[in-house]
């Protein structure tokens, strides 16, 4: 059985968490693996991001293959996630053309996804996007 404990230095009950973890380890004699990292994104962040991407996809046209058109929320996610850190990577397509390689939002932590949401807000505000209630 795998058990996960989340310790954060800003948690006011961090000492209780550490005590519980130590007691659990003593009682079970299990091996402990510690992973240091950022908190994962929340379901609320994910829902907000997709609502905002849907709003952008309905209201903003973007040049694709030389003409302005509405593109899917998934395409906007790729464009905006690539633009977040100004790392537009372009690959040659298998059958010709080019493909923009975006960042995987599923790999983003809480802080980075918050930055992406802010970036989408800025982008949308600059283009007059009216946000739905879900966003």
Domains and CATH numbers, the chain: 1-36 (no CATH), 43-126 (1.10.3790.10)
CA distance 101 to 88: 7
Give the lowest-confidence range in 1-5, 43-47, 63-67, 97-101. 1-5
| Closest to 83 measured CA to CA, from 111, 120, 114 | 120
What confidence tens digit (pLDDT) does each residue in 75-122 have? 999 889 888 888 778 889 888 888 877 678 888 889 999 999 999 999
Q: Which residues share a beta bridge with 67?
A: 64
Q: In 23-119, which ranges are E strands?
A: 61-64, 67-70, 89-92, 98-101
């Amino acid at each position: 059985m795998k058990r996960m404990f989340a310790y954060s230095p800003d948690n006011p009950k961090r000492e209780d968490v550490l005590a519980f973890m130590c007691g659990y380890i003593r009682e079970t004699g299990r091996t402990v693996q510690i992973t240091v990292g950022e908190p994962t994104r929340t379901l609320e962040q994910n829902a907000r991001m997709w609502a905002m991407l849907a709003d952008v996809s309905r209201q903003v046209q973007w040049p694709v293959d030389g003409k302005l058109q509405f593109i899917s929320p998934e395409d906007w996610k790729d464009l905006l996630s690539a633009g977040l850190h100004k790392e537009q990577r372009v690959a040659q397509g298998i059958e010709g053309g080019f493909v923009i390689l975006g960042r995987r939002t599923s790999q983003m932590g809480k802080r980075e996804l918050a930055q992406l949401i802010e970036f989408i807000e800025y982008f949308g505000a600059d283009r007059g996007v009216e946000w739905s209630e879900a966003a």
